[in-house]
């Protein structure tokens, strides 16, 4: 893989981590029965992480603009290949059907990245957790191999 492909994915994962942390704090507010100080801390975390995510999305936009087309296509196509594999899985129950629906929607978002209609695609941590883990592992492992 191209070095720029790894940079794109690293930025995508930073955005995803910031949004996940904000969502986790939101869940704590909704379900954790926080006291006043915990509530304030969670609200501050949400605000900070959502701002961080917005700033990172602006950086991702600039990075995509500056990245050679081949690297953007390689990045998008890696994700599309994983999602197309998920769509080939048997849809034997409601969970599998929802997984396929989520994969199909995520695939459509990656197509928008290719067409330059959007920059960021998040990966559903519940229905596509294996895909999310694969992206994390593939880009971390391959990045290390790239430098060896």
In 89-128, alpha helices (H): 94-114
Give 107-148 pLDDT, tens digit per residue: 999 999 999 999 999 999 999 999 999 999 988 754 444 443
Domains identified in the chain, total number: 1
For residues 79-93, one letter each, b for 16 or more C-beta atoms within 10 angstroms of the residue's C-beta and e for the rest, the string is bbebbeebeeeeeee
The three-point CA angle 45-50-56 to 5° equals 125
Q: What is the DSSP annotation of 9-77?
A: HHHHHHHHHHHHHHHHHHHHHHHS---HHHHHHHHHHHHHHHHHHHHHHHHHHHHHHHS-HHHHHHHHH
Q: What is the pLDDT of residue 122?
A: 96
Model confidence, pTM = 0.90
The kind and range of the H/E element at 147 are helix 129-147
Q: Residue 15 is part of which domain span?
A: 3-147
Give 36-48 pLDDT, tens digit per residue: 999 999 999 999 9
Q: What is the pLDDT of residue 79?
A: 98
């Amino acid at each position: 893989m191209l070095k720029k492909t790894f940079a794109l994915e690293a930025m995508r994962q930073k955005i995803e981590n910031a949004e996940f942390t904000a969502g986790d704090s939101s869940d704590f507010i909704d379900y954790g029965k926080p006291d006043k100080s915990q509530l304030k801390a969670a609200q501050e975390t949400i605000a900070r992480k959502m701002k961080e995510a917005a700033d990172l999305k602006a950086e991702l936009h600039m990075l995509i603009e500056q990245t050679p087309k081949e690297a953007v296509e390689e990045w998008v196509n890696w994700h599309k290949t994983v999602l197309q594999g998920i769509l080939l899985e048997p849809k034997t129950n409601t969970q599998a059907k929802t997984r396929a629906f989520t994969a199909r929607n995520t695939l459509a978002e990656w197509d928008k990245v290719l067409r330059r209609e959007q920059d960021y695609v998040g990966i559903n941590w519940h229905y596509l957790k294996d895909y999310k883990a694969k992206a994390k592992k593939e880009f971390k492992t391959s990045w290390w191999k790239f430098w060896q």
